[in-house]
A = this chain, B = another copy of it.
């Protein structure tokens, strides 16, 4: 027999629906991209009606902003947890770089690449994003400071080299879209780790256990084609 849907408080209903929508939006953003991000799609993914969506979020843009904030919050939390995992001993720099890479490459920067262009051309949207992103950058800086403290490294040096690490990772992920060449990136990241260890004056360390990623793994699916490809969709007779 099927349980009748348990009675929930209004707040429970509200928060669950909103949470489903936020997560669905981020996943759709990563898997389909911003241009293919439609409110009917999001509602379907979240398992709610479009009416529920429009009830909780007045516009698609509102939903977007809140979803991005949610994602960055998750990332901040993971980062904090990582730092907590290395209180007294020195954090192996390789583990840090690997963690940052996984965090960015598995979802965070994929999603960022989706909304950055919109932020560039849509001032109100950008303004709403700025405080959210500022908070994330502050969390990064705080992490670098904590790490430099436990490792006994000049804070200035840690800031610039670890922020540069983030930029390097961003650039690598961006390039990866049109240059899928794992060896290239592995070599570059390995080289970078060696440089970092030199700057920060560390010896080699063991690999570290990392907190789990925020989103489930992404498989490149490409479901129904939209818009931009209509002319390419003509099927050729024959051929398998």
Name the distance in Å between A26's Cβ and chain B's nearest Cβ: 15
* A contact face: mostly helix, strand, loop, or mixed: helix
Of the candidates A129, A161, A163, the one having the most CB atoms from chain B within 10 angstroms of its own CB is A163
Indicate if A44 sits at the interface (CB-CB under 8 A).
no
What's the least CB distance linking A167 to chain B, in Å? 3
Complex contact A117–B113 (CB within 8 A): yes
Task: Kindly identify which residue among B130, B169, B177, B187 contacts A178, using a CB–CB cutoff of 8 Å.
Answer: B130
With A228-B125, A231-B58, A232-B124 as contacts: A170 and B174 at CB distance below 8 Å? yes
* Count of interface residues, chain A, beta-carbon cutoff 8 Å: 58
- Complex Cα distance A232/B65, Å? 13
Q: With A61-B231, A160-B191, A164-B191 in contact, is A120–B175 under 8 Å at CB?
A: no
Contact assessment for B33 and A112 in the assembled complex, using a CB-CB cutoff below 8 Å: no
Q: Across the interface, do A112 and B228 meet the contact criterion of CB distance under 8 Å? A: no
A98 close to chain B: CB less than 8 A: no
The 3 closest A-B pairs by CB, nearest first: A170-B171, A167-B171, A171-B171
